[in-house]
Amino acid sequence: MKTRTATQLVPHTIDGKTRLVPVEVDAPAPPRDWDHLILTGVTGIAALVLTASVVWSTASIGDLLARAVIEPAAYGAAIVFDLAWIACMAVEWLARYDDDRAALPRRAGHVMLLLAMLAVGAHGKVAGYWEIGLIGAAVSALAKGLWTVVLRHQTPPLDARTRAWIQGELADAGASLALIPVRRQLQRAEAQVAAERAAIAGPDSDPDPSGQPTDDPDADPDAAPAGPMTIKDAVRTALDSGIREPDRVLKYVHKVADANAKQATVERYIRLAG
């Protein structure tokens, strides 16, 4: 049986105190994973074929376009043909757990591959060697076909219920992400409205339209006042009582003044009071 050197933590005691110390020991070596080695080799072959396809297509299409434009522009445009269907294939791989999302990049990749093959075939015809054009176009088809086989092999099969469950999880995550810019937009809109009102009212105006006086600063912030309390009064009472955190101030305002008070409104009163 083959062995390999491994590091193992073992207890070691000196003067009654035990510590775990590393010790090198001989451990059984795991068997060679031939499946993984073969898959790695096939992936390397697919990468080599893809590279050859990109080089051939770029050279053929670039030479075709160079008949009408300068060579740097011609070859820069030529490489787009292969990069387009390669990018679609990568997006299809990212959406491998969702057939609905993977369908669009799959179809787009086939269309872009066909365009690249037609361009390579057209170069062969223009150059007077249509056979070479057909063979060169087949190189791109072989490269995409090989990568399709490799990626499909590495995609785990999922039943319909599992796919539906994954789609639900992705939908929940997408909804959470979508709320982030929406909240930012709402905050910007509220800030613009507050700034517009402050600019119209003037710097010395009271943002509280009620105009009611504040309560005694020594009042207990945990006890609701005898009469109705405005948001401004509640904020000032909380600040005078030593409550400085905006979240705690908002909680106190909800308790004694207005249960629907906004965080932005409370923070504005805190700034004015400061």
Summarised one tens digit per residue, pLDDT across range 20-46 is 999 888 878 778 888 889 999 999 999
Residue 18 belongs to some domain of the structure: no
- Separation between Cα atoms, residue 129 and residue 60, nearest integer Å: 12
In tens, the pLDDT along 172-202 reads 888 888 888 888 888 888 888 877 777 776 5
DSSP 190-255: HHHHHHHHHHHH-TTS-S-TT-PPP--TTS-TTS--SS---HHHHHHHHHHTT---HHHHHHHHHH
Residue 179 in tokens: 């709320």
Answer yes or no: do 79 and 130 share one domain.
yes
Asked whether the whole model's pTM tops 0.85, one would answer no
Q: What percent of the chain has pLDDT over 90?
A: 36
Q: How many domains, the chain?
A: 2
Claim to verify: residue 45 and residue 147 sit in the same structural domain: yes
Task: Using alpha carbons, list the distances in angstroms from residue 119 to 57, 58, 175, 201.
Answer: 8, 10, 42, 67
**Contact (Cβ atoms closer than 8 angstroms) between residue 238 and residue 249:** yes
Structural domain contains residue 197: yes
Last residue of a domain, one of 112, 137, 154: 154
Tell me whether residue 160 is in a domain. no
pLDDT computed for residue 155 by the predictor: 84
Domain with 232, as residue range(s), is: 188-273
Average pLDDT, the chain: 84
User: How does pLDDT run across 115-144, given as a tens digit for each residue?
Assistant: 999 999 999 999 888 899 999 999 999 999
Distance CA 12, CA 208 (A): 72
Last residue of a domain, one of 128, 154, 180: 154
In this structure, the answer to whether residues 207 and 269 fall within a common structural domain is yes
Q: How far apart are the first and last CA of the chain?
A: 77
148 and 46: one domain?
A: yes
Burial of 258: CB neighbours in 10 Å, binned 0-12, 13-18, 19+: middle
DSSP-derived pairing of the beta strands 3-14 and 17-28: antiparallel
Q: Is the pLDDT of residue 270 over 90?
A: no
Residues 146 and 202 in one domain: no
- Place 216 in a pLDDT band, splitting at 50, 70 and 90: very low
CB 252 within 8 A of CB 240: no
Q: Is 41 in the same domain as 134?
A: yes
Query: Are the C-beta atoms of 146 and 133 separated by less than 8 Å?
Result: no
Query: Which amino acid makes up residue 196?
Result: E
Choose one of 97, 132, 154: the last residue of a domain.
154
